Structure 1
Amino acid sequence: MKKTISKFTYLSALGAFALSSCTDLVVQEKDSTIVKTTGGSTTTGNPTELLNALYNDLGVFNDQANLYSLGQHTSAEMIPPTRGVDWGDNGVWRTLHSHTWDATHAQVLNTWNTMNGRAFQCEQLLASNPSPVQAAEAKAIRAMYMYHVMDFFGQVPRRTVDQGVDALPTVLTRSEAFDFIVKDLTEALPNLPRLGPAAINARASKAMANALLARLHLNKAVYKSAKPEGPYTFDKADMDKVVQYCDAVKADGFDLDPDFFNPFTANVSKDKIFTDLQGSPRNRWMMTMHYDQGGFDAEKDGPWNGFATLAEFYDKFEANDARRFREVGFQKGYGGVHKGFLIGQQFREDKTPIVDSRSKKPLIFTRDVPLAGASTEKGIRVIKYHPADFGKYLIFRYADVHLMKTEALYRAGNTAEALKLLNELRTLRKATTATSINDDVMLRERGLELYWEGIARTDEIRFGKFNRKYQDVTNIEPYTVLFPIPALAIASNTNLKQNPGY
């Protein structure tokens, strides 16, 4: 896999690299395509190689830390318990769950660095005489990375290739960044390829851009608000645009997959809009499975016994909801590991009960799980990507698009059509049909369908549910809807201003 590395100090982002600690995680070195600096500016490179590097680097989305953890651990769907000395890591996980992070948090810095660094790689490609199609793909990918910076931090630094390594990057406000990103995607759309459903969709396409435009306009009230914490006013014209963009995605052949777990496998699925290219989403099962659940053909190593869900979230599912559980573990090659939420006694593929190799007790996953001092069996585990399925990580999928359209119709006042779409999904998932729709129903359905996919924080903020007390959350101050600008970034770029509260 190639990775573009530019030999310069990205002053707004790359003050100093701090690799966040992670239990049993091995980071492998990659081959690199080097983009050098000459004089006061950064030279350009081969656009084909640079574009390939951008796609190879999509693996950043399936890491269990940084980008994913900022969007997921800060929500009410996940908890990262410290188990003895495991997953302590100087408190980086616990502070995300409790909303007590600060400007020195390693994963806040790493996310800032990575997202801004990837966006600059797109700048390099755009300055390298790309074809119209290559330029469109670079703009779409740049928009995706800038979107995450805007969403997390509320301001976005930008430096073009011709500014020179010593120039301080300009800083876009959240409102300015929103406009810039929308412009990027709008300009890119005509030249992006029209791609339909596939087993792997690791190329920026019209459907990918339209899905991102839908998400942007669904959250426009948040990103344009004078107060990041709200309250938010959702304009009907913006909701109409969400519907337009969602319909454009469907027109390219994408749709709900009647089999909830199929999109997370190697199979073709109408749900797969934009996927990772390289490797497998291995972190997604290793981060939650118990040490003693490995050792079978699809996962020979010992998992990391990390993250769990909260009983409060698990209880939102009806017993017959297809998204809650599927028994597959006793099939050949599945190692006793089922799909969905794992609770109670765990088994081998031959139905032998697993005994915890540390405690010497039966491995029984419990509903309760403390944030600190958790024993090895505590917590309900979650498997969407199964090691036996060899799937690719999903960055955008149609179920999200379907729910964005549902929410947009609801916010625009078309509750009858919104309820119809909501129940179309619930019927596919074997859940009882809803008789009415409101904010709580809408947010709950997004969680039931999209759990552990890294977007729960954004959803909770939009619905005004982020700053509330639940298990082990100790800080509910409104300022936490934005992360701090990393202290190292502020020290190196005086154009950046720290977000309120930090």
Structure 2
Amino acid sequence: MKKILYTLLFASTLTLSSCTGDLDQMPHKETTSASVYAEAANYKSTLGKIYTSFVTTGQEKGGGNSDLSSNNGQDYMRCYFNLQECGTDELASTWLEGDKVGDLTYLSWDANDPWVSDMYYRIYYTISLCNEFLRNAGDEQISGFSEQEQSDIRHYRAEARFVRALAYYHALDFFRNIPFVTEADPVGAFTPPRYTAAQIFQFLETELTGIDADLLPRADCEYGRASKGAAYTLLAKLYLNAKVYVNEERYTDCITYCQKAINEGYSLEPDYKKLFNADNDKRTNEIIFPLPVDAIHTVSWGSTTYIICGAVSNTSDYQKADTYGVKSAWGMFRVRGEIPALFGDNDGRALFFTEGQTQTVDVIDNQANGYFVEKWTNLTDNGETASNTVDGGVNTDYPMFRLADVYLMLAESVVRGGSGSSRATALGYINELRQRAFGNDSGNIQDGEMTPDFILDERARELYWEGTRRTDLIRYDRFTTGSYLWQWKGGVKDGAAVDSKYNIYPIPTTDLTANPNLYNENY
């Protein structure tokens, strides 16, 4: 059983302030803050609710007693995966109409798209949970508890601020100019101001550096909670993409925080595939910040259940569900042909099911077009099925941050002109990844090959289906432009450029109606 705070004996949906005026998006009220925060022990349980808001949708198994009324009723990470992957070369969706992902797939959404709306409200629901926790975790509120209890709550408080920062980072990345609300704002009738991307960026910098002293170091941090390494990694991501967000190059800062994360003592997991199986909670050497999923305590039909069940055909004569520890195959998606083409011979990361499948995607919703991805499984290290996925979903955690990504961020920042490290160090990190992938040094590259384009391709080889591709393509100015085309980009078989407005998702119409401070610039 996973050693995790997620075994919630007391999970409560709090009385929260909404970031919108749309009452259909308000959390359901079941327990008041006064009763929840009367005992010190409840703070950890409530922190657990904050963490699980990424992978569950309600108070009961499989999302029963839901937290929000929403279009699709899916969890944060299912929304996140769709918004980061559907429109890229990494995903070919099967159920375009049934799952309502056609506009995401073809880069043609508008401010009424159900997945865009659900992602937006999921983000702000998590932010609201964090704000309510922080309103009740100030020094004055916890002064009546013992010294040890106060010390623990200060750590929890820093973690809640980290989770809020992560949610705001996702809001920045997806929506740019967004409503901003913290624990300092009033509960009830409150209309949040519109913060620019520059203001959100500054808030994230200040917040993530400000919690450093109260976050636990990796060695002391319980699995599933945010350590110093998680905050350093999030800062590195913020700085890597600063040119996109605020038109500033912050590559030196990215290098600084990559090094801080590395110095926490992480190391590469020798077996790449074990990072994505049902025993990946044991990979604390490489996984910096996981989102635990458990078939008993945090049952989810989104997150990794969606990825693993969704990547197994339900029509193929060749692919078998039990090969991946899955009791039901959903046949939701495959990968478009451009991604498998990036891999060289003997690259162990090329985990694709090809029998009976074409590499090219002539018909995007034809399950026989495009390879299925075998990267994620619900199998233990011993090759046994970890859970009954029909009843409880998978047991595989979602590695939100891992060391390999940090290595690649540092290398890209060096190549782009950042200081504080060297090309030799960056090259060493890339070749460590490739030695793991190839099993020897046959895949190593030389310094002259370490270019920005190579690193973008290497990120795809190492991180495909880990929710980074859209952000990466935007940073390289290839997501909407004609500089890189893939099959069915823009709804055209051979690919086509689309309007640059699709680099940013629109704030949903429902929130524009509720909050007069908000507007979309291009929709």
Give the TM-score normalised by the residue count of structure 2: 0.76
**1:123 and 2:131 correspond:** yes
Of 299, 317, 323, the match for 2:343: 317
CA distance in 1, matches of 2:22, 2:352: 38
Mean Cα displacement is larger for which, 291-300 or 479-488? 291-300
1:470-489 map, 5 Å: 470-474=486-490, 476-489=498-511
1:153 to 175, 187, 190: 175
Displacement of 1:284? 1.6
Deviates more, 1:145-154 or 1:476-485: 476-485
Displacement, 1:58? 3.1
Shift of 1:197: 10
| TM-superposed deviation, 1:16 | 3.8
Deviations 1:144-198 (A, max 9, x none): 0110001000023223455132110122111100111111111111111112499
Cα 1:432–1:62 shift into 2, 3 Å: farther
**For residue 360 of structure 2, what is the amino acid of its counterpart?**
D
User: What SS does structure 1 have at the residue aligned with 2:212?
Assistant: helix
Question: Which of the residues 307, 315, 318 maps onto 1:284?
Answer: 307
Q: What's the offset of the Cα at 1:393?
A: 1.4
In the alignment, is the contact (CA less than 8 A) between 1:311 and 1:368 conserved in 2?
yes
CA distance in 2, matches of 1:13, 1:482: 23
Task: Answer whether contact 1:15 1:489 (CA < 8 A) is retained.
Answer: no
Q: Are 2:229 and 1:207 equivalent residues in the alignment?
A: yes
Out of 414, 421, 428, the position equivalent to 1:420 is 428
Match of 1:228 in 2: none
1:6 to partner: Cα distance? 4.5
Partner of 1:306: 332
Q: In the TM superposition, what is the alpha-carbon distance from 1:240 to its structure 2 partner? A: 2.1
Letter in 1 for 2:114: A
Displacement after TM superposition at 1:245 (Å)? 1.3
Indicate conservation of the 8 Å contact 1:246/1:402, yes or no. yes
Over aligned residue pairs, what C-alpha RMSD do you find?
Answer: 2.9
Q: Hey, what's the Cα distance between the residues in 2 that align with 1:52 and 1:442?
A: 36
Partner of 1:499: 521
Aligned to 1:397: 402
Superposed counterparts of 1:36-435, under 5 Å: 36=32, 46-59=42-55, 65-82=78-95, 87-89=96-98, 92-129=100-137, 131-161=153-183, 162-196=185-219, 201-225=223-247, 234=249, 238-265=250-277, 266-267=279-280, 268-269=282-283, 270-279=285-294, 281-291=304-314, 293=319, 296=322, 299=325, 301-324=327-350, 340-344=351-355, 364-372=356-364, 374=366, 376-389=367-380, 390-412=395-417, 414-430=422-438, 432-435=443-446
- Structure 1 CA distance for aligned equivalents of residues 12 and 121 of structure 2: 14
* AA at the equivalent of 2:475: R
What CA deviation, in whole Å up to 9, does each residue of 1:58-113 have, x standing for no partner? 3159867311110111222111134xxxx4227x3121121001000000000000
Is the CA contact (8 Å cut-off) linking 1:366 and 1:378 kept in structure 2?
Answer: yes
CA displacement, residues 276-332 of structure 1 (integer Å, 9 cap, x when unaligned): 1332622221111012655649746321111111111111001200111xxxxxxxx
- Contact 2:19 2:181 (C-alpha < 8 Å) held by counterparts: no
Distance 1:78 1:64, change over 3 A: farther
From the superposition, tell whether residues 377 and 3 of structure 1 become closer, same or farther in structure 2 (CA, over 3 Å): farther
Could you say which residue in structure 1 is the equivalent of 2:458? 445
How far did 1:473 drift? Answer: 1.7
Cα distance in 1 for partners of 2:164, 2:115 equals 21
> How many angstroms apart in 1 are the aligned matches of 2:77 and 2:371?
17
CA–CA distance in structure 2, aligned partners of residues 138 and 169 of structure 1 = 20
Tell me the residue number matched to 2:386.
none
Whole-angstrom CA distance in 1 between matches of 2:132 and 2:401: 25
Shift of 1:15: 5.6
Residues 92 and 336, structure 2, Cα contact 8 Å, conserved in 1: yes
Taking the aligned partners of 2:46 and 2:252, their CA distance within structure 1 comes to 36
- Given residue 309 of structure 1, which amino acid in structure 2 is its aligned partner? V
Structure 2 distance, partners of 1:498, 1:33, is 31
Is the 8 Å Cα contact of residues 256 and 402 (structure 1) preserved in structure 2? no
CA distance in 2, matches of 1:64, 1:341: 23
* 1:212-243 deviations in Å (ceiling 9; x for gaps): 01111111111102xxxxxxx52xxx222222
Give how far 1:368 is off.
2.8
Instruction: State the AA in 2 paired with 1:93.
Output: V
Instruction: Provide the C-alpha distance between the structure 2 equivalents of 1:343 and 1:432, rounded to a whole number of angstroms.
Output: 23
Unaligned runs of at least 5 residues, structure 1:
19-29, 226-232, 325-339, 345-363
Give the Cα separation in 2 of the matches to 1:370 and 1:11: 43
Matches of 1:369 and 1:459 in 2, distance apart? 22
Counterparts in 2 of 1:296 and 1:470: CA distance versus 1, 3 Å: closer
Whole-angstrom distance in 2 between the partners of 1:411 and 1:197:
35
Deviation, structure 1 residue 463: 1.1
- SS in structure 2 opposite 1:395? strand
Give how far 1:391 is off: 3.1
Q: Distance in 2 between matches of 1:147 and 1:104?
A: 22
Unaligned residue ranges in structure 2 (runs of 5+) = 1-7, 57-73, 139-152, 296-303, 381-394, 491-496
Counterpart amino acid of residue 56 in structure 1: T
Contact kept in structure 2, 1:64 and 1:287, CA below 8 Å: no
Choose between structure 1 and 2: higher strand proportion.
Answer: 1
Q: In the alignment, residue 450 of structure 1 is paired with which amino acid?
A: L
Contact conserved, 1:341 with 1:380, CA < 8 A, in 2? yes
Query: Does the CA contact (< 8 Å) of 1:272 and 1:397 recur in 2?
Result: yes
For 1:3 and 1:100, how far apart are their aligned partners in 2? Answer: 39
Quote the sequence identity (%).
26
Please give the alpha-carbon distance, in whole angstroms, between the structure 1 residues aligned to 2:208 and 2:263: 18
Task: Count residues in correspondence.
Answer: 435
Q: How far did 1:484 drift? A: 0.7
Match of 1:353 in 2: none
3-state DSSP of counterpart to 1:112: helix
